Amino acid sequence: MDMFRLDGKIVAVVGAGGGIGEGVALAVGAQGAHVVCLDINAANAAAVAAKITAAGGKAESGALDLGDEAQINAAFDGLVQKHGKLDGLVCTPAINVRKPILKYSLAEFDKVVNLNLRGNFAALMAAGRIMTAQKSGSIVLFSSIRSIVTEPGQSVYSMTKAGILQLAKTAAVEWGTLGVRVNAVGPGVVETPLTAPIKANAEWYNAYAMKNPMNRWAQPGEMAGPTVFLLSDAASYVTGTIIYVDGGWLAADGRFTPPGM
């Protein structure tokens, strides 16, 4: 089991203030890493760091706005100045504007793309500069089942999640000989603040639950195990790929079970 441990590693989790990011940060801390909890909401990030330390782990926190390139670079440079290295980066933030294509505004398009693609790209670059120089490290970006399948109203979100997957693959190709691994996690439906409007609509919520073979939504903490794996030495030969954590969503081609099955 030691190969799954993260003892002695410095891991930055962007989006650690809630949802999937919080679940990942807590798990990374439980596996022995020193967790740097970063979030646009500094108070939330600090609260998660406090949970990690209260459980006997090591953590610190800070504010990070993925729309601010200077702040991103300063945060990662400061992290290396303090700790001397960066072993892992997990980047979870994303937003969604659900609208049919013909009702989208370009301002809404920019809002989604600027965080989901530009912001994640900037974080990847900042971590990549450090990791390629030290010739080690693991980066985990968050894609989605929407990188492969979509539905009405998901045009821009799905586009960005497919882009995240291709970004992870390209970075893996560019940095593989430099000791840096880059992968993605692809959640299915997860109960987070982003999906709260769906949970508020019972018909919509239940339809999604019944779409996957497990007939339920995931909890944020269920994204943690695959992420810890990708950060750990257990995944030393895993790069440029995605782990879908979707309850079997992509395995099922319909909701109807034929008679006698």
- The catalytic residue among 104, 157, 205, 208 is 157
* The token pair that represents 152 in the structure block: 């009405």
Closest CA to 180 of 190, 171, 188: 171
- Residue count of the chain, please give it: 261
Q: Is 205 a catalytic residue?
A: no
The answer to whether 237 and 172 have CB atoms below 8 angstroms apart is: no
Kindly give the residue spans of alpha helices, DSSP state H, lying in the chain: 19-30, 42-54, 69-83, 106-113, 120-134, 155-175, 196-199, 202-211, 224-231
Handedness of CA 66, 68, 72, 78 (dihedral sign): negative
Largest CA distance in the chain: 64
CA distance readout (Å), 105 to 64, 99, 151: 27, 9, 19
Residues carrying an active site annotation: 157
